[in-house]
Amino acid sequence: MSGHTTMISEGQRTDGHEEAWGELLGREMRELLNVILLTLILFFAIRSIVLNFRVTGSSMEPTFHDGEYVFVYRLAYWRHPPRRGDVIVFRYPPNPKRTLIKRVIGLPGETVSVHNGQVYINGLPLPEPYIAASPTYVADPVVVGPHQVYVLGDNRNFSNDSHSWGLLDMNMLVGKVVWRYWPLTRMGPIPHATYPPPLDRPNPHAEPSSETPGRHGMMPSSPISPVKAPVEKGGP
Q: Which helix (H) or strand (E) holds 115?
A: strand 111-115
Return d(Cα 230, Cα 236) in angstroms, integer.
Answer: 18
Specify whether 27 is located in the same domain as 134.
no
For 200, half-sphere exposure in the C-beta direction (CA atoms, 13 angstrom radius) is 6
Specify whether 132 is located in the same domain as 214.
yes
Percent of the chain with pLDDT over 90: 62
- Residues 106-111 have a mean pLDDT of 96
**Of the candidates 133, 124, 80, 77, which has an alpha carbon nearest to the alpha carbon of residue 105?**
124
Q: Read off the CATH number of the domain in which 165 is found.
A: 2.10.109.10
Structural domain that includes position 193:
51-233
Which residues, in sequence order, are CB contacts of 196 under 8 Å at separation 6+?
Answer: 127
- Residues 11-17 have a mean pLDDT of 54
Burial class of residue 74, CB neighbours in 10 A (0-12, 13-18, 19+): middle
- Residues 25-50 have a mean pLDDT of 72
Q: What pLDDT, on the 0 to 100 scale, is given for residue 27?
A: 76
Q: What pLDDT, on the 0 to 100 scale, is given for residue 203?
A: 59
State the sign of the Cα–Cα–Cα–Cα dihedral 24, 30, 31, 36: positive
- Residues 5-32 have a mean pLDDT of 62
- Catalytic-labelled residue, pool 2, 58, 59, 113: 59
Mean pLDDT in the chain? 80
Percent of the chain with pLDDT over 70: 71
Q: Is the pLDDT confidence value at 123 over 60?
A: yes
Each residue's pLDDT tens digit, 69-79: 999 999 999 88
- At 62, give phi and psi (nearest 5°): -90, 5
C-beta of residue 160 within 8 angstroms of C-beta of residue 59? yes
176 catalytically annotated: no
- Catalytic-labelled residue, pool 102, 113, 159, 209: 102
* SS3 assignment, position 176: strand
C-beta of residue 150 within 8 angstroms of C-beta of residue 164? no
Specify whether 112 is located in the same domain as 16.
no
Of residues 26 and 9, more confidently modeled: 26
Q: What pLDDT, on the 0 to 100 scale, is given for residue 211?
A: 37
Q: Specify the range with the lowest mean pLDDT, choosing from 6-20, 92-106, 107-121, 132-146.
A: 6-20
Q: Is the pLDDT confidence value at 86 over 80?
A: yes
Return d(Cα 95, Cα 88) in angstroms, integer.
Answer: 17
Q: Is the pLDDT confidence value at 13 over 90?
A: no
Specify whether 111 is located in the same domain as 80.
yes
Specify whether 44 is located in the same domain as 113.
no
CA 122 to chain CA centroid, nearest Å: 28
59 catalytically annotated: yes
Quick check: is 37 in a domain?
A: yes
Specify whether 44 is located in the same domain as 55.
no
Each residue's pLDDT tens digit, 168-203: 999 999 999 999 999 999 999 999 899 999 998 775
Question: How many domains is the chain built from?
Answer: 2
Task: Tell me the pLDDT band of 112, cut-offs 50, 70 and 90.
Answer: very high
Q: What pLDDT, on the 0 to 100 scale, is given for residue 26?
A: 72
Alpha-carbon dihedral 114, 118, 121, 122, rounded to 10 degrees:
-80
Quick check: is 4 in a domain?
A: no
